[in-house]
Amino acid sequence: MLRVCEQTAEFYRSHYGRQHFPHLVAHVSGGPLVAMVLAGTDAIERWRTLMGPARVEEAQAYWPDTLRARYGRRTEFGDYFNGLHGSENYAEAVREIHFFFPNMLVGPVPRLWQIRDYIQKNLRASLAPALTQLAHEKPAEPMLWLADRLRRHNPNEPEFAPQPAEMAEEMKCYTPNPSQASNLN
């Protein structure tokens, strides 16, 4: 999914005013991203542990097996191109989930009638035909076949406005020239 500068700035509004904010917005809005929701006992804490520290240098030095240590990168603009984001607390997680998935149910485990209602409204239209086709075709790898079929026929796929061949200069996000304080040499 692609985000424009304004959306990225809104998402990272808690960083506004910090030295790295313009670089962060330009970097995150500069290419595709994958948004996902993890659910489970202590999901926020467990994900943050798996990611490691936000600063790549610290992650590489002290927690080399974390995701940020392995996939983050240091640049001339700073040490925050860590490749991953994770909510800091439950309230932030709810805000961020609704930012990317506005219709998602968030909260305690829903009651059975809520689950049935959600399935009826959001899943049945794509899942029932896929399961019917799966039963008829009987592929060798049914889980992979079903996952691919649902991905190709996802009615909830985000739609993006068509982009002109060349974006107007004033619409592009730019990383400003780094200050001396943000240079890591």
Helices (H), the chain: 5-11, 21-28, 43-51, 56-62, 67-71, 90-100, 112-118, 124-137, 142-152
Q: Is residue 85 annotated as part of the catalytic site, yes or no? A: yes
Residues 6+ apart with CB under 8 A from 9: 16, 21, 25
Which residues have CB under 8 Å from 30's CB, separation 6+? 173
Catalytic residue among 15, 23, 27, 85: 85
Q: Enumerate the active-site residues.
A: 85
